Amino acid sequence: MKYLLLLLFVVISTALKISTENECHQKCPKHIAFVCKYISPDDCYQFFNECDAELYACEHKITFVNTVQGECPKRCKQN
């Protein structure tokens, strides 16, 4: 019985995570949607433009699609 409850919990939490990511991907521009895995969909929707997304990724050690790992984009730092 204990294992059945644990399995049920894992299934439910996985389903919730997937639905949150899908919601986020629908709201956010595709090129920054990967960051949504780490923040709530509402935050994602509110605060992104391209530079914000790149800097967020760099500061949080997330590899951005167009950024060398560990290097914040220069054009964004200058703003």
C-alpha torsion sign, points 6, 9, 11, 17: negative
Q: Say what the pLDDT of residue 59 is.
A: 67
- What is the Cα–Cα distance from 68 to 5, expressed in whole angstroms? 43
Q: Say what the pLDDT of residue 32 is.
A: 58
pLDDT digits (tens, 9 = 90+) for 22-35: 555 555 555 555 66
Domains of the chain, by residue range, sit at 2-78
Residues 33 and 50 sit within 8 Å (Cβ to Cβ):
no
pTM, entire model: 0.31
Enumerate residue ranges in the chain where pLDDT < 70: 1-51, 53-55, 57-79
